[in-house]
A and B are shown apart, each in its own frame.
Chain A
Amino acid sequence: MTQQARDLSRRRLMFGGAALGAGALLTACTSNEASAPEGQTKVADASAAAPGKPVTIGFSAPAADHGWMAAITNNAKAQAGLYSDVTFKTVEAGADAPAQLAALRALIGQKPDVIVLLPHDGKELNAFGLEAMKAGIPVVNLDRAFPDALAYRLQIKGDNYGMGVSAGKYIGEQMKAKGVTNPIIAEIPGIDSLELTQERSAGFKAELATFGFTVASRIPAEFTADSGQKAASQLLQAQPKIDAVWNHDDDQGIGVLAAITQAGRKEFFMVGGAGSKAAIDAIAADSGVLKATVTYSPSMASSAITLARLIGQGKGMSDLVELQVPKEITLTSETITKENASTYSKLGF
């Protein structure tokens, strides 16, 4: 009995010691290199950049668990930091639209000069846009449009449909150049229930149709690398021979590329989406199946802050004739290939 008790206590001591040691070791293991956004921010040299009337910008974007969304928040913060006359106030957007709405109501109370907002859902937060505009606070809608034109002063967004068109165009042209008449084209979209995914796929389909091509196989992932790997592994299994793949998102593309390597396939080429740093580097190095990516750049957050500042100061864009900032700006989706990758590498996130 005592023997057993002693054994037990010794064992416990051992386990305790091991646990403590492991704990100490592990806490040392959480450090990461801080990735500073470079090239994603910009201050014009013109007189517009000179310090003017101080502007308080309120900012809200969903909590990111994804590289693109993280880049949005980081870019906005970094861009605001470049202006000496801008005070940047950020509110957590919470987990969903109602939570973001509550946070934004609190923000109105703080009387910012301009609100820059990436809503969880443009339709659900439309009412807030109206409310803020009515209270005399201009709202800059970032990427997810409000249906009501009165709900925003400026809307700046990426072009989802155009992204699909760009990807379809690149693939169509490549197929033509190679002389493939009946190519097997596959598509790995992100979360399929999102409107943006459907727009991207619609653009892709429409553009491919102009070449007389169709999408042979389409398996959605969830914008994460592990879901991309899963979708791609099944897609490769379903199609023993593929000519081209469009993967909607470069973050999820890490997993897609992993699945392609694991399957040992290289008879096709892949087009990415969004334009992450890793993807642009891979395209420049021309090391694998990834030959191009179509942009949907989070640099729009930096531009939104710049424009919000101009709105707050009542100035226009210096290169345009108009005295005020335009109401709607849609970024064009550019195609990054090996040839122009070096010019885009600073925009990678």
Chain B
Amino acid sequence: MSDATATAVAETPQHGGATPPAKGGKWRGDLGEAMTRNLGLLGVLALLIIIGAVTQPDLYGDSTWVRNNVLSILQLASVVGVVTVGMTFVIIGGGIDLSAGAIVALAGVWATTVATQSYGAAGMIFTAIIVGTIVGLVNGVLISYGKLVPFIATLAMLVAARGLAAQISGKQTQVSGNATINGIAGNKLLGIPILVYIFAGVVIVGWVLLNRTTFGRRTVAVGGNPEAARLAGINVKWHTLMLYGLSGLCCGIAAIMLTAQANSAQAAMGNLYELDAIAAAIIGGTLLSGGRGTIVGSLLGVIIFATITNLFAINNLPVEVQNMVKGGIIVVAVLIQQFRFQSITQFFARNKVTTT
């Protein structure tokens, strides 16, 4: 993991369209920055676990319980985590996808209609993934070719997709009677729930896609400076379209996972997942204005949020306090981000002076 973190961090700045070249030693500039941020997040995570261990020594004294608790946190993080991977790509690419939760609901509902369930597990998975991707692509078309602001286009999709989901489901909770689908959440392979494998798989594919392919490089370039990316020969519109399609695809996968977890789907499910995903990406160091971010950071962001939920649950503390703490963490993360980016604003300011 730490190896992956280091590589992810090392790759981003070199190919980031807008980020300045690292000056000085290894720990100066962008490279050290993203790494220290991820180390900081790991520190926060460790702190949360220590708080848990101190407050509930009885539970933490039982090694089987601790192992189950780690798996429980990962399962809790898995659905939002998959959405966050797609969201990270969209945000790095300079956009935002407010419709993520609604797409999860629509794909989940579509995949659990009586007609779809008659095609079995494969039919349900196919439906969820295709519905998610198509809705994402519609977002992409509206944004890149219809020239709608991403915020507005995906906000419209949020409303419309939930509406369509409610229409299809007849506002009822649709129970999934498919043992294979329900088994995705219930069954384990080598002691680890299948859900966690899917989560890991999506994260790894996302990491490779962002750091090891031209698609990933282009995403960073498009988000950092679309005009420069266009002049460099990147089809910015097409690429943006693909990014929203990718986010939709992730939502489709998440829909199947959530359906498996809840053994059902309904139009209200995945409520506010888009905000959870955006928050996780932000505290993971993804810049909301685009051009910068890491999959590992987002992953840590999601896991930190899940660990907080878990921590509050095992200490039987009210959800209200939990939400306040989460809000506080987002603010602190963004504040830290701003401090770190002062150096970059300075760089641009200097640049401006030299060019004019």
A residues near B (Cβ < 8 Å) are 19, 22-23, 26, 28-35, 63-67, 69-70, 192, 216-220, 222-230, 233-235, 237-238, 240, 251, 254-255, 257-259, 261-262, 278
Q: Are B313 and A224 in contact (CB under 8 A)?
A: no
Interface contact B261-A29, CB-CB below 8 Å: no
In the bound complex, what is the Cα–Cα distance between A19 and B316 (angstroms)? 48
> Is the beta-carbon distance between B169 and A32 smaller than 8 angstroms?
yes
* Chain A residues, CB < 8 A from B178: none
Minimum C-beta distance from A239 to chain B (A): 9
A234 near B169 with CB under 8 A, answer: no
Cross-chain contact A70 with B271 (CB below 8 angstroms) = no
A32 vs B174: C-alpha distance when bound (angstroms) = 9
A226 with B258: CB separation less than 8 A: yes
The 8 Å CB contact of B268, one of A26, A66, A259, is A66
Most buried by A among B75, B172, B175, B267: B172
Given the known interface contacts A219-B319, A251-B173, the answer about A230 and B76 at a Cβ–Cβ threshold of 8 Å is: yes
Quote the shortest CB–CB distance from A68 to chain B (angstroms): 10
Task: Write out, one digit per residue, whether chain B residues 158-190 have a CB within 8 A of any chain A CB (1) or not (0).
Answer: 000010001011111111000000100110000
CB proximity to A under 8 Å, residues B267-292: 267-271
| Interface set of B (CB-CB < 8 Å, partner A) | 59, 62, 65, 68-69, 72, 75-76, 110, 113-116, 119, 123, 126-127, 130-131, 134, 162, 166, 168-175, 182, 185-186, 193, 258, 261-271, 309-310, 313-316, 318-320
A/B interface sample: 17 pairs, CB < 8 A:
A29-B127, A31-B113, A31-B114, A32-B170, A64-B166, A67-B173, A70-B170, A192-B320, A219-B313, A225-B173, A225-B269, A226-B258, A229-B263, A233-B72, A255-B261, A258-B186, A258-B261
| B169, B173, B314: the one within 8 Å of A237 (CB) | B314
Give the residues in chain B near A66, CB-CB below 8 Å.
Answer: 171, 173, 266, 268
Q: How far is the CA of A240 from the CA of B319 in the complex (A)?
A: 20
Complex: A124 Cα to B174 Cα, angstroms: 32
Among the interface residues A23, A33, A229, which one has the most CB atoms of the partner chain B within 10 A?
A229
Bound Cα distance from A326 to B134, whole angstroms: 55
Partner of B314, one of A65, A223, A238: A238
Q: How long is the Cα–Cα vector from A234 to B130 in the complex, in angstroms?
A: 31
* Contact call B115/A224, Cβ cutoff below 8 A: no
A255 to B176, CA, bound (A): 11
- B130, A233: Cβ atoms under 8 Å? no
A258 lies within 8 A of B185 (CB): yes
- B310: chain A residues at CB < 8 Å are 234, 237
Whole-angstrom CA separation of A224 from B262 in the bound complex: 9
Can you add 13 more A-B contacts, CB < 8 Å, to A222-B268, A226-B258, A258-B185? Answer: A23-B134, A30-B115, A30-B168, A32-B174, A34-B170, A216-B316, A225-B262, A225-B266, A227-B269, A233-B72, A251-B173, A254-B264, A258-B262
B254: min CB distance to chain A, Å: 11
Q: Let me know if A226 and B68 touch, CB within 8 A.
A: no
- Of all chain A residues, which has the CB nearest B58? A240
